[in-house]
Amino acid sequence: MKITKHSVATIEYTLTADSGELLDTSDGHGPLAYVHGVGALIPGLEDELEGRQGGDVFEVRLPPERGYGERDEGMIQDVSRQAMPEGAEIEVGTQLQAETPGGMHVVTVVEVGEDHVRLDANHPLAGQHLNFKVQVVGVRPATPEEIEHGHVHGPGGHAH
């Protein structure tokens, strides 16, 4: 069967930056299973998977607007060092969970000053082209429970 809304698709994938740096891969974790059409993956990758079937292999280079979006300089903010969680190791590259009006958000420390810390709330992959190599391993219909939860139960998904 073909991948369409509310299919469970199982994929192997490798994600690299334009520099060739490996950003993410299913290799070593086992294939990824997800419910198609509920926003589980970035939009550009779901678009590319639509209509594919088991055994399909493809490569795609997604621009930022089809991936994690453009970088927004407005999401860079200076906070006082006192506002940092106590005992946390703060250095450039440290990632912290921050509570924002939009929910929990990962922020990255991009600068450490004497009494301030500069935080970047952009997604670490915002502004980047994403080079995916994908192999579709299998496709099946989602169960009503999986559709309700928005994620897969069983192999490659949630066990709960």
CA 50 to the chain's CA centroid: 18
- Residue closer to Zn ion, measured from CB, 102 or 144: 144
Residue 150 beta carbon to Zn ion: minimum distance, rounded to whole angstroms: 8
Cβ(77)–Cβ(118) below 8 Å: yes
Q: Which of 85, 149, 158 is nearest to 117 (CA)?
A: 85
Closest CB to Zn ion: residue number: 149
Residue 141 beta carbon to Zn ion: minimum distance, rounded to whole angstroms: 16
Cβ(22)–Cβ(146) below 8 Å: no
Residue 6 beta carbon to Zn ion: minimum distance, rounded to whole angstroms: 14
- Could you list the residues that contact Zn ion (CB under 5 A)? 149, 158
Q: Where are the beta strands (DSSP E) in 17-90?
A: 22-25, 32-35, 57-62, 76-80
Residue 61 beta carbon to Zn ion: minimum distance, rounded to whole angstroms: 33
- Residue closer to Zn ion, measured from CB, 69 or 157: 157
- Residue closer to Zn ion, measured from CB, 55 or 150: 150
